Amino acid sequence: MPLPALGQGSCAFNSCMTGRDPTGTVVPYMTGERSFPTGAFSPTDSLPLEICSFPLRSPAGIMEPSGMRPRPGPFLACACFFTDNLFVPRYGLHLRYHGDPEQLRRDYGPVEKEVQRRKELESRSRERKAIISQNYKPKHPQLYTLQESFLAPEFLEMVRYSTSEGADLQGLLDRVESISDKRIYRLPVFAKEFCQAFIEELENFEQSELPKGRPNSMNNYGVLLNELGLDETFITSLREKYLQPLTALLYPDCGGGCLDSHKAFVVKYALQEDLDLSSHYDNAEVTLNISLGKEFTEGNLYFADFRKDSNPVPKYIEVEHVPFHGLFHRGGQIHGALPIASGERWNLIIWMRSSIVRNHLCPMCNREPELVQAEGFGDGFTRNSENVQPETLDVCALT
């Protein structure tokens, strides 16, 4: 089905990460009984990488956050956030804008609205967080500090192995489920009881009259966990103490041993709300997508090529959600979600970032980042990585 062609006149739009080619024409690619869109994705230059070593273990057997390198800071964003990867639901496209602002307003109003939303994002988020902190009464306050009882026993065993002396990639792969050669891995993360209580907490917040922010430009329903007060005492501890020992082995070439910031949010899919998710890649070096529940049908994820690959006919795989399990994948892996058919699906998404990696090349504009001030973890960039000399790790020993 043809769509209006973009890039006419003095306004120049580039299709950045989309299920359509640059002219706006859908080109289906069949796999099994599904029809997935192909996309036009340009390869990027190779990235100069420094691979960090990872502290192995504490006397308790699992690395404590105090064993991590000091956090860099302050964290910053790239100015491309206001010009690149602007999602327009009408076309199902991410766009990059270069051209006449007047024509932008006249012909592509939704793009201008998205730019304005991004410019106001931090101030509005700061206001919401303050209001929520002062007025929200949690249903399950014990959930706001991470406890090992929240985590699946199998997950804890994987972490103990990964922080043990002599741990290597093959040993970890013997303990996780490898989905494909795309380096997608499934593993149990949370206990069932935690997921049920966590969804109750999210629903309690959802039903309140307090202000709520969108998780990102593509999802309209869900919760930003930093605004709910879950960042420092829950997600940061989870990333530093439990996730990074795994990512250091699984993704050493993506900065998996140097993940020093994140963005975490929960997305909700339901009938009459968000049903699916267009093709995209994440603003992350490594992503963890955890299925929290509830009852639902369909809505599987699909994965295409890595964004640096220039395959004219991408190979897609479809991956089912397994309750209480997470999927690790590289942030640059192009993916999306098929429509849900019934029920509700809640997923916790953690975008994990490495400043040592992204300071060389912004993953969203494929250029040297133009740094601008940001709050909190920003988009994971820093100014001081040039002065950091990380220990090195023999990648050949892990592959």
* pLDDT on residue 97: 62
User: How do residues 134-171 score in pLDDT, each as one tens digit?
Assistant: 999 999 999 999 999 999 999 999 999 999 999 999 99
pTM, full prediction: 0.79
With vertex at residue 80, the alpha carbon angle to CA 268 and CA 247, rounded to the nearest 5 degrees, is: 55
The SS3 of residue 220 is coil
Give the confidence band of 276 by pLDDT, cuts at 50, 70, 90. confident
Q: Percentage of residues in the chain with pLDDT exceeding 90?
A: 56
Residue 99 amino acid letter: G
* pLDDT on residue 77: 94
Would you say residue 48 has pLDDT above 60? no
The SS3 of residue 176 is coil
Give the confidence band of 119 by pLDDT, cuts at 50, 70, 90. confident
Other CB atoms within 10 A of residue 161 CB: 19
User: How do residues 14-34 score in pLDDT, each as one tens digit?
Assistant: 333 333 332 232 222 223 333
Would you say residue 93 has pLDDT above 70? no
Residue 271 amino acid letter: L
Long-range contacts from 320-324, C-beta under 8 angstroms, 24+ separation: 321/291, 321/345, 321/347, 322/186, 322/291, 323/192, 323/195, 323/291, 323/292, 323/293, 324/152, 324/188, 324/189, 324/190, 324/191, 324/192, 324/195, 324/290, 324/291, 324/292, 324/293
Task: Report the distance separating Cα 176 and Cα 170, nearest Å.
Answer: 10
* pLDDT on residue 31: 30
